[in-house]
Amino acid sequence: MAATVSSGRDAVATPIQRAFREAFYAGAISLGLFVLFIGLRTDQNITNELILVQRWLLLAIVVIAVTVGRFLYVAYAVPAMERSKAEKAATPAVVAEPGFIKQNFNRIGLVILLLYPIAMVLLFGFQGSLKWVDNFGIQILIYVMLAWGLNIVVGLAGLLDLGYVAFYAVGAYAYALLGTHFGLSFWILLPAAGCMAAFWGVMLGFPVLRLRGDYLAIVTLAFGEIIRLVLINWREVTNGSAGISGIPKVSFFGLISFNVSDPNYIAKVLHIAQSGAYYKIFLYYLALGLCLLTAFVTIRLRRLPVGRAWEALREDEIACRSLGINTTTTKLTAFATGAMFGGFAGSFFAARQGFVSPESFVFLESAIILAIVVLGGMGSLGGIAVAALVMIGGTEILRELDFLKAVFGPDFTPELYRMLLFGMAMVIVMLWKPRGFVGSREPTAFLKERRAVSASFTKEGHG
């Protein structure tokens, strides 16, 4: 939260002098920013009138922290970074053989993912593993699935979609409504929800085909909001903001059920003790399976003509058209395919929660998914998975930091700071790595030898 003051004078000043000056500016600016918002707090008194509570000590602490932080950053961190950069430039570039982990990144990741629930059960027992499998495992996998789906639209085809959550909502409501009213099974409704979401993807795609760049962004955003508002207001069907509850659970292809009352309940079939953890572990593997399906389809599609057309569209739309690619169908298939995976994720989400309401499909979700795609490096599946792990896992872990209560007193709730830190993390990661975690790209078509395309040559599309 500090300003960068750079001018010609800096050349003569020593780092320490410059640090003092910058720290002073940073302190003054943060004082200005925070004096009303941290120094005073608006609270309601007993008669419901707003009163001001003064918190000057907190303000002083924050301002001093910003000042000292800025001083340390300019005086020590920046010179240290510059030195290491200079050292790196001085040593001759050795083409290092990528390490074992880097070479087998996908395989190692997959093995860890497969063993994760088992490890959690061994570590914490069935009851203790619930939280780790559900809040961390499944939650992150849902976002990975969504981000990989959006990656087809944004990362491959280069079309900026700010309303992706609409397809997630369509999938979730399709499963919720058809499952509760007609009692259809998850395994029938999963493809149905995917098709329905794909249909809506085409519906959105048609009007926006002529739009480009930010016009496309705002129309997709508007589309997402329209879907959410319709879900809120069409009370006869969607039950409004109260949402739909009692959504049936997924069964293991009808063979093994996870409802305690059913005759084929898992504990009765396998003759083991009852536990809610079986269902969560089953859902975890289901989510993992859906993720792998998404990844598999994405990887294969990139080698099909349509996938190559998407990437060509992202790189240069005019060249694409002049080479005879039908941009209309190319864009529509990108929207439809991306939306279909959103629909899959949505129906999985509904099955996992057992409850859906419009609250889950706000713009913030679209923003988070888009942020994961961009932070992951747009187009790189591994990078996106890492981004989802860092951003979602990082904010989920804040719920667990109970020891902070011992430091800041019992009133301190780390959860409150979750989204604040999430927003700041988005900014910091983007400043640190503007091209995302994996900026380089693996080309789909190549001559003789496959070489990664450096980040500075990759494009992001204008659609």
Cα angle 110, 116, 119; round to 5:
140
Q: How far is the CB of 448 from another protein (least distance, A)?
A: 29
Residue 424 binding another protein, by CB under 8 A: yes
Q: How far apart are the first and last CA of the chain?
A: 33
Map the footprint of another protein across residues 73-102, applying CB under 8 A. Answer: none
Say whether residue 46 binds another protein (CB under 8 A): no
CA distance 134 to 342: 20
Contact 133, 278 (CB under 8 A): no
Q: Which of 190/221 has CB closer to another protein?
A: 221
423 binds another protein (CB under 8 A): yes
Burial of 12 (0-12, 13-18, 19+ CB in 10 A): exposed
422 binds another protein per the rule CB under 8 A: yes
Residue 186 and residue 178: Cα distance in Å, rounded? 10
* Residue closer to another protein (CB basis): 304 or 452: 452
Of 232-261, which residues contact another protein (CB under 8 A)?
232-233
Binding positions for another protein, 103-162, rule CB under 8 A:
154, 160
CB of residue 84 to another protein, shortest distance in Å: 19
29 binds another protein (CB under 8 A): yes
Binding mask 162-201 for another protein (x = CB under 8 A): ----------------------------------------
- Site for another protein contains 203 (CB under 8 A): no
Q: How far is CA 447 from CA 70, 160, 302, 444, in A?
A: 49, 30, 16, 10
Which member of 1, 61, 203, 272 binds another protein (CB under 8 A)? 1
Query: With binding defined as CB under 8 A, does residue 310 bind another protein?
Result: no
For another protein, the binding residue among 10, 24, 40, 332 (CB under 8 A) is: 40
The site for another protein, by CB under 8 A, has a size of: 66
Indicate whether 406 belongs to the interface with another protein (CB under 8 A): no
C-beta of 293 vs 421, nearer to another protein: 421
Rounded to the nearest 5 percent, the helix, strand and coil shares of the chain are 70, 5, 25
Q: Which residues pair with 103 in a beta bridge?
A: none
Q: Which is nearer to another protein, 38 or 309 (CB)?
A: 38
Q: Considering the complex, state which of residue 64 and residue 364 has its C-beta at the smaller distance from another protein.
A: 364
Cα angle, residue 128 at apex, residues 124 and 131 outer, rounded to 5° = 120
Contacts of 66 (CB under 8 A, 6+ apart): 1, 2, 26, 27, 30
**Among residues 41, 148, 115, which one has the least CA distance to residue 372?**
148
Interface with another protein (CB under 8 A), residue from 63, 345, 378, 388: 378
Helix (H) or strand (E) holding 58: helix 56-72
Contact 168, 150 (CB under 8 A): no
Q: How far is the CB of 283 from another protein (least distance, A)?
A: 28
CB–CB of 377/430 below 8 Å? no
Neighbours of 345 (CB within 10 A): 33
What residue ranges bind another protein (CB under 8 A)?
A: 1-4, 29, 32-33, 36-38, 40-44, 48, 50-52, 154, 160, 207-208, 210-212, 214-215, 217-219, 221-223, 225-226, 229-230, 232-233, 318-319, 363-364, 367, 370-371, 374-375, 378, 416-417, 419-420, 422-427, 430-431, 434-435, 460, 462
